């Protein structure tokens, strides 16, 4: 279960990007990825104590201090039957959210479209079987 970061259930990822993740978190579960990189990416902490599988379309970002004072950032994408490594960005400095934004945004649209297409195919198959 995702744990809230602050009083609002979501916090801007850019506020967290300069600091290591707390030991109690396995990453930040993205709530939204806006179309423009200058808009906030909203997230909640995903608990390390109860690691649950990512749901289809869910994106989990994790990061740790890397070489040269930067952060090593990793993104995982939840699929129906598994979780896959989406991307890695080594040694990012400062607010790294604009760097990872394009990849995150480009994945959310196609995943949503594939989900709709899959549901439509299942419905069509069900209707043709009747």
Contact call for residues 50 and 77 (beta carbons, < 8 A): no
pTM above 0.85, yes or no: no
Contact call for residues 93 and 69 (beta carbons, < 8 A): yes
Which tokens sit at 96? 């790294």
CA 117 to chain centre: 22
Which pLDDT tens digit goes with each residue over 79-95? 888 999 999 999 999 99
Q: What are the CB-based long-range contacts (under 8 Å, 24+) for 89-93?
A: 90/66, 91/66, 91/67, 92/66, 93/68, 93/69
For the chain, the maximum distance between any two Cα atoms, rounded to a whole number of angstroms, is 62
Main-chain dihedrals φ then ψ at residue 35, nearest 5 degrees: -65, -30
d(C-alpha 103, C-alpha 10), whole Å: 21
Which pLDDT tens digit goes with each residue over 15-51? 888 888 999 999 999 988 888 988 999 999 999 988 8
As a whole number, the mean pLDDT across the chain is: 85
pLDDT of residue 67: 84
């Amino acid at each position: 279960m995702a744990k809230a970061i602050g009083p609002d259930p979501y916090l801007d990822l850019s506020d967290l990007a300069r600091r290591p993740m707390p030991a109690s978190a396995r990453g930040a579960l993205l709530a939204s990825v806006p179309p423009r990189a200058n808009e906030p990416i909203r997230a909640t902490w995903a608990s390390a104590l109860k690691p649950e599988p990512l749901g289809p379309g869910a994106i989990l970002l994790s990061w740790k201090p890397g070489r040269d004072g930067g952060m090593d950032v990793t993104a995982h994408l939840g699929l129906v039957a598994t979780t896959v490594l989406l991307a890695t960005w080594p040694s990012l400095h400062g607010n790294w959210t604009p760097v990872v934004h394009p990849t995150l945004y480009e994945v959310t649209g196609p995943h949503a479209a594939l989900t709709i297409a899959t549901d439509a195919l299942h419905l069509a198959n069900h209707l043709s079987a009747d």
